[in-house]
Amino acid sequence: MAVDELDTRILRLMIEQPRTSVREYARVLGIARGTLQARIDRMERDGVITGTGPVLSPAALGHPVLAFVHIEVTQGHLDEVGDALAAVPEIVEAFSITGGGDLLTRVVARDNGHLEDVIQRLINLPGVVRTRTEMALRERVPHRMLPLVESVGRGTRTAR
């Protein structure tokens, strides 16, 4: 899906001011509310906008330890292991990957001992061959999308 300059401006506002109303976005952008709503609906339908809920802090929820756990899986068991990972609440993301392992998970924990307990739980899942854990020390670039949105939308023009 092509994201044009107006879409980029809409997304920028939604990222920078997520609690603002559609009516206010339309006023700021100088476009009709119906036009704005149609653009948002299209971007949701096309999968550009995938959610509107709050962004939560695992640290504020009592889980300040962040680790990335690479999981090697017995051939033919990737789907079963992936399904089992969904039952582990401390796993906040999991991806199939290439390279050193089959899955990469983002794991949060209360402390190092709790992290070890979570890793032991992962090791004991049927189909898991081994794990390798890397602990995050400090976030250097927080999750962000605005630079990508602006990069994709750069150079395209729409009429107001």
pLDDT digit string (tens) for 81-127?
999 999 999 999 999 999 989 999 999 999 999 999 999 999 999 99
Query: Where do the DSSP E strands lie in the chain?
Result: 65-73, 91-96, 103-109, 128-135
How crowded is the C-beta side of 49, counted as CA atoms within 13 Å?
A: 21
Of the pLDDT bands very low, low, confident and very high (cuts 50, 70, 90), residue 72 is very high
Triad 85, 50, 60: Cα angle to 5°: 60
Q: What is the pLDDT of residues 84-97, one digit of tens each?
A: 999 999 999 999 99
Segment 35-62, tens digit of pLDDT: 999 999 999 999 999 988 888 999 999 9
Domains of the chain in start order, with CATH, are 5-54 (1.10.10.10), 58-135 (3.30.70.920)
Question: Is 150 in a helix, a strand, or coil?
Answer: helix
Q: How many Cβ atoms from other residues are within 10 Å of residue 126's Cβ? A: 9
Long-range contacts of 15-21 (CB under 8 A, 24+ apart): 15/145, 15/146, 15/149, 16/146, 18/52
Q: Is 93 helix (H, G, I), strand (E, B) or coil?
A: strand
Mean pLDDT for the chain overall:
93
Q: Which two tokens stand for residue 24?
A: 């206010």
pTM score: 0.84
Q: Phi and psi for 125 in degrees, rounded to 5?
A: -70, 135
